[in-house]
Amino acid sequence: MQDTLKIAAIQADLAWENPEANRSYFDQKISEIGGVDLIVLPEMFATGFSMNPKGIADTGDMVAWMKATAKAKQAALAGSLMIQEHDNYYNRFYFITPDGNSTTYDKRHTFTLAGEHKVYKRGEKPVIATYKGFKFLLQVCYDLRFPVFARNTSNYDVMLYVANWPKKRVFAWDTLLKARAIENMSYCIGVNRVGLDGGNYEYNGYSGIYDSLGATLAFAEAEEKTIYATLSKAHLEETRNQLNFLADQDAFELK
């Protein structure tokens, strides 16, 4: 366990439905990063947010790349992939540590507006990844709109959202990331993409890292950029002890 955790988040222009090109892109971007504990990539970082997983969904190669990269960089690597298991597809978030340990979360709130629910099987429960004494709640894109699912009843330290969130609704993305940080007294990291996808949707980033009061620690506008921040366990606990808002939250069951 350590008191601080150094974060790098890569806001990328993803190649459409091209895992090989994206792997090469991230090899270069990650090679430029040094001295961090965790590197975060966007949602479906190998393909973009595609509803055409047949023939391009990962069956193990990209996961193996993530494990090899985490080991080589001695940093955890996080991001979501389209995954094929037998005849089913998933939008699956991987949090992989340098020792090869993998925590996975299948996106709960599939994006019905794009028909994601017709292609990908959804997850059922929130998932917490633990790394170097910090507890991370893993979330994917559309999950951000559903605060009950993310409420901090597990005493997590960091909310981690990866996304392909389009420009036309980026104000909601920017606002809700801060709201989730504030209402859960947690660090909140949101990693989006930039550029155009194969459906001609435009993305303008606004990736950000926020503290437990919603203050901005790092931010990227509409450009390819890697942002950095250092999280402090002691500062988080001090803030929670002083304000103790979580002790007053309502109790109920999620069904």
Q: Which residues are catalytic?
A: 43, 107, 141
Half-sphere exposure of 62 (CA within 13 A, CB side): 29
What gap in Å lies between CA 38 and CA 164, rounded to an integer? 20
Q: Under 8 Å CB-to-CB from 9, ≥6 apart: which residues?
A: 39, 40, 189, 191, 207, 209, 218, 220, 226, 227, 228
In this structure, what token pair is assigned to residue 141?
Answer: 């894109």
Cα separation of 254 and 166, whole Å? Answer: 29
CA distance 59 to 45: 15
Do the beta carbons of residue 5 and residue 132 sit within 8 Å? Answer: yes
Q: Which helix (H) or strand (E) holds 240?
A: helix 233-243
* Count of beta carbons in the 10 Å neighbourhood of residue 32: 9
Q: How far apart are CA 70 and CA 64, in angstroms?
A: 10
Q: How far apart are CA 195 and CA 95, in angstroms?
A: 25
* Alpha carbons 48 and 26: distance in angstroms, whole number: 13
